[in-house]
Each structure stands twice: as structure tokens, then as C-alpha cells.
Amino acid sequence: MSRSHYQNVFFYYRGPSRKVPSAEAELAVDRQLENNATKALINVLAHSGSETTRCFLREVVELDVDDDGDGFVYSLLGADKEARAARRRHLVGLSMLGMVESGVAGDGDRGVIDAAICLPGELLVAFEVKIGNGVLDSSQLQRHAKTWRICDDHWKCVRWATIYEWAARQRNPALWEEVLKLLPDGDREDLREIHVGQLGLANTAHAQTNWRKRGVNLTTELYSNELQVNMVGWLQDEARRFKHWLVSDGGQRRLKELTDHQLVVYCRQAGNIDKRESGAKPWFQRERVRPLGSSAAGEASREWISSLLDQVDECWEKSAFHLRRTWSKDDVLAEGKGIAREVTDEVERLLPRVREINAATAS
């Protein structure tokens, strides 16, 4: 980023003076929020290393950058004029809707791009940013394109939700990269492919082991207030095997050894369960999920598990299980990078149980 106090993550663009007329002040406040939202994004990229920027450009802007050095230059409210000579030049419009409209009222006559990411001589990515109900104005984007010599087919509109989803995906892969480094070779092989899930509507980033393989698996689920490691039996066959293990003598002994864990029992309902009285057939493509109950693992007796499963309508509902270890947000922040060691220890603790259940499945 070009050297200025705005490179400091604790510095921000200030609002309008009290002397400014109210109509102008309202526009200035909106502009201040846009500038600070843009600054937050650029600060994160600038301080996270070049690999994060390459990942952002590849997955959000859909640009491949072959250069593996640290030569990115980040700027706010403009860019070095030499960036016009970059071999590749692109314009990104960022807003809530990710759409361009014509004749938008507001400050569309502004001629300054909100931010830029450059590789000198090679790449310019210029940004025009709107927040809230702000709409990307075609005339403003055309002026930016003319100023920075960007052709029309090098424009891209991006929604803020896309950036949020991208950012959420970065948290779990980074954790698993560290966990896989710490695990013994045999354990790494048993986990097979680690799949990072899409964010969707739930405010969670999650990753799953043994992707596309039948059997019980492990997941990490990162919420705004906690981190979870789960041993999961979700689909019908896996849940059935998981249940048999839970109520077996061996399973009951193992549960008592897991003093920091909870067993959560879920009910997966057919998406059309509201129509079960009308003679419809159940379908689970858009299933609903509700928890039946949770218990400290060591107190999850056969009787307690059976009492919950007795509530399940086997035609329209299916049971599912999470055996869970949880860290609060404060725990995670206190541990810092050390949380990877704790998650690794948890994976090593649960992996023998995964093998045990899946071996029974295979037989």
C-alpha cells in the first residue's frame, strides 16, 4: 500500500465537520462509510501476505496471477498513474447487489477510484465500492475505465456477500493446514480429502474430512462465538451405525472417557413434512433440522438416547448425531495459533472412534 497513515489498521477516514450543511453532511457520512469499508478490505489483503491477495483475485475477481513474489502495491482513493501501463487492467464494481444501473443519483460524478491493487507493469485491479443501498453507476464506471484505459470486457461486478463467503472460507483451510502439519502421516492419510463447505445462509465456516467417502467423518465448524470439532453421523446409514456404537458396551465406555464433549442428537425432517397428513411421500432434498437433545458425553446413557429416538417418525424423520468438543471465542483468541495444537489433539482423540465405527460399517 502506498505509504500513508491509512495503512495503519487503527486509522480511519473521519466524518464531516459540524460546519458542513446537513445535506452535504449526509453525503459525506455515506462516503466516509464507503471509504472505511474499502480501507478495511484493502488493509486485510495488504497485511495478510501476497498469497491471500492472489487467492482473493483468483476466487473473487476470477483473475489468475502467476507472479509468486511479494510485489503487490495497494492504494486507496486512486493509484499511481504508471498503473495505466500495466499489461492487464481490470475494473471491479463492488456493492450489495453486484449490479450496474444508469442515471443513479448521488456522487457518480466522482472521478477517483476507491482502491487499487497493482503489480507494477503487469496488473491493475481498480475498485469502485458502494455499501448499503448504494448502486454502481454505469457512467461513473465508464469514467474510471477511460481514465485507467480499461476495456469493457474487463469489468466485473461483485457482491459484498461473495467477499464475505470468500473470507469465511479462508479461516477453516488455514486451521486445517496447521492441523495436517501436526498430525502423524497415518492419521493424515485416514482423513482423505478435506472439503471446505460454502457459507450459505448459516453464519458458519465448516470443513469435513473424508469427502465423498461413506462413513462417519470429522468436521470443524467455526461460528462467530465458538469453534467446534465434531464426529458426525449424518446420513441414514452412518447415523444408524453411529447409534449402534453409542448404545454398545464399548461405545458407552468410550463416551465416559470424553469428559470435555457433548453428544447432540438431531432430527432431520423431510422438506415437505407439512404435507404428511395429505398422503404425500416424504422427500429430503430440502430437509429441516431440529435438535432433539444434548448431553455431556459421559452422561449419554442408552436410556437417554433411546428416549430421544422414540420421538422420531421413521417415515418422515431421520436421526443424526454430533459428538462435539467446543471452544468459546475467548478460548480461541486466548490460544492464538496454539488452537491448532488443541484441534490436532482432538482429531487424534476422535479418529480411533471414527475408524472403529467405519470398520463395523465395512464389515
Q: Which helix (H) or strand (E) holds 91?
A: strand 88-95
Distance CA 195, CA 212 (A): 9
Which stretches within the chain are classed as H helix? 22-47, 50-59, 138-147, 160-182, 185-191, 236-247, 249-257, 302-309, 329-335, 339-362
Distance CA 263, CA 117 (A): 47
Walk along the chain (363 residues) and give the pLDDT tens digit of each residue: 444 555 655 566 666 556 655 555 555 556 788 889 999 999 999 988 788 899 899 999 999 887 655 689 999 999 988 888 899 999 999 999 999 988 665 555 567 999 999 999 999 999 999 998 889 999 999 999 999 999 999 999 999 999 988 887 776 667 888 899 999 999 999 999 988 765 444 457 788 999 989 999 999 998 878 999 999 999 999 999 999 999 999 999 999 999 999 999 999 999 999 999 888 999 887 899 999 999 999 999 999 999 999 999 999 999 999 999 999 989 988 888 899 999 999 999 999 999 999 998 555
208 forms beta bridges with 195, 219
Spatial CA neighbour of 49 closest among 169, 170, 224: 170
Domain regions of the chain by residue span: 5-163, 183-362
Who's near 345: CB < 8 A, 6+ residues apart?
none
What angle separates helix 22-47 from helix 50-59, to the nearest 10 degrees?
110
Distance CA 327, CA 166 (A): 23
In this prediction, residue 190 carries a pLDDT of: 93
Residues 226-259 as b or e (16 or more Cβ within 10 Å = b): ebbbbbbbbeeebbebbbebbeeeebbebbeebe
Which stretches within 284-338 are classed as H helix? 302-309, 329-335
175-221 per-position pLDDT tens digit: 888 899 999 999 999 999 988 765 444 457 788 999 989 999 999 99
Distance CA 35, CA 76 (A): 8
**Are 288 and 273 in contact, with CB atoms under 8 Å apart?**
yes
In this prediction, residue 57 carries a pLDDT of: 95
In this prediction, residue 41 carries a pLDDT of: 94
In this prediction, residue 14 carries a pLDDT of: 61
**Are 9 and 46 in contact, with CB atoms under 8 Å apart?**
no
In this prediction, residue 306 carries a pLDDT of: 97
Distance CA 228, CA 224 (A): 11
- Three-state DSSP state, 307: helix
Scan for cell 493509484, then name that residue: 79
- Three-state DSSP state, 285: coil
In this prediction, residue 1 carries a pLDDT of: 45
**Are 264 and 324 in contact, with CB atoms under 8 Å apart?**
yes
Tell me the whole-structure pTM to 2 decimals: 0.60
Span 183-362: which CATH code? 3.30.930.20
The DSSP symbol for 284 reads -
